[in-house]
Amino acid sequence: MTSTDVPDVHVPTPHPVRGPLNAAFFRLVDGYGHRVLGDRKAALFTDLPRTVVELGAGTGANLRHYPAGTRVIAIEPNPAMHAPLRAAAARHHVDLEIRATVAEDTGLADASVDAVVSTLVLCTVADPAAAIAEARRILRSGGRLIVLEHVAAPEGSAVARLQRTLQSGWRWAFEGCELQRYTGELLAGAGFAEVDLERFRAGWIFLPVDHLVAGTLHR
Ligand SMILES: C[S@@+](CC[C@H](N)C(=O)[O-])C[C@H]1O[C@@H](n2cnc3c(N)ncnc32)[C@H](O)[C@@H]1O
């Protein structure tokens, strides 16, 4: 297991308090998140190749879904996530390489991987269109981008109003997380050969992020 710094890429400096607090929060809610989303993730993460690139891998919520021995290249800029991510890799017998860089610029070669995973990340990256284009760039023809992302609630709904009300505090607390991104539309227009996305509601206690999109895009 290694941690690779990529010095020529602009990686935002995580806040010295909120960075570790976010890592603690995602560890705390890991079991609950798995109870709510685990079955859906298990269905999405079938027949994975031996190597998977995971954008914004966080504290490793998805590693339990990868077969033992899978090589995971985790693109994770927040160093406070790295220790729990390594611990999760050890628990789930995943061969982990952490790249402390951003999804918009992974440093990986063109057409070099067969699967990219992004769960609850495109809300937070500074430039989601660039992150999606980067995933497409590093995927081989026939490779897939697997996503599960929270999105803007339908215009005029009570949740959309809640999202607008909470947005600035939420963005501050969760290090740039945007509640009202149209990520499904962005993915659908990103030039993938096949797009299979489903909108759904999680039905969990985190109402501002209860509207989600999940599915697979083929390069
Ligand atoms: C809400 S957490 C989700 C973590 C994990 N994917 C999950 O499903 O639990 C968002 C993660 O994206 C990371 N992140 C933020 N900006 C990023 C960027 N530009 N590129 C890659 N990851 C980023 C954060 O550090 C954090 O670990």
pLDDT of residue 11: 76
CA nearest ligand 1 atom 3, residue: 120
pTM of structure: 0.94
CATH number of the domain that 160 lies in? 3.40.50.150
Give per-residue pLDDT as tens, 144-176.
999 999 999 999 999 999 999 999 999 999 999
CA nearest ligand 1 atom 27, residue: 58
CA nearest ligand 1 atom 8, residue: 119
If we measure between CA atoms, which residue out of 192, 76, 216, 202 comes closest to residue 150? 202
For the chain, give the secondary structure using H, E and C: CEEECCCCCCCCCCCCCHHHHHHHHHHHCHHHHHHHHHHHHHHHCCCCCCEEEEECCCCCCCHHHCCCCCEEEEECCCHHHHHHHHHHHHHCCCEEEEECCECCECCCCCCCEEEEEEECCCCCCCCHHHHHHHHHHHEEEEEEEEEEEECCCCCCCHHHHHHHHHHHHHHHHCCCCCCCCCHHHHHHCCCCCEEEEEEEECCCCCHHHCEEEEEEEEC
pLDDT in tens, the chain (219 residues): 444 444 456 777 878 888 888 998 999 999 999 999 999 999 999 999 999 999 999 999 999 999 999 999 999 999 999 999 999 999 999 999 999 999 999 999 999 999 999 999 999 999 999 999 999 999 999 999 999 999 999 999 999 999 999 999 999 999 999 999 999 999 999 999 999 999 999 999 999 999 999 999 999
Q: Which atom of ligand 1 is nearest to the CA of 177?
A: 1
Contact 26, 61 (CB under 8 A): yes
Q: Is the CB of 58 under 6 A from ligand 1?
A: yes
Residues 6 or more apart in contact with residue 169 via CB below 8 angstroms = none
pLDDT of residue 17: 86
Domain that holds residue 206: 2-218
Q: Any long-range contacts for 199-206 (C-beta under 8 Å, 24+ apart)?
A: 199/151, 200/40, 202/36, 202/37, 203/36, 204/32, 204/33, 204/36, 205/32
Q: How far is the CA of 92 from the centre of ligand 1 (A)?
A: 20
Burial class from Cβ neighbours inside 10 Å (0-12, 13-18, 19+) for residue 145 reads: buried
What integer best gives the mean pLDDT of the chain? 94
Domain count along the chain: 1
Q: Is the CB of 126 under 6 A from ligand 1?
A: yes
Q: Which atom of ligand 1 is nearest to the CA of 57?
A: 6
Provide the β-strand partners of residue 51.
71
Q: How far is the CA of 167 from the centre of ligand 1 (A)?
A: 18
pLDDT of residue 8: 56
Give per-residue pLDDT as tens, 200-218.
999 999 999 999 999 999 9
Contact 90, 64 (CB under 8 A): no
CA dihedral 25→31→36→37, nearest 10 degrees, is 80
Q: Is the CB of 193 under 6 A from ligand 1?
A: no
pLDDT of residue 12: 74
Q: Is the CB of 74 under 6 A from ligand 1?
A: no
Q: Is the CB of 114 under 6 A from ligand 1?
A: no
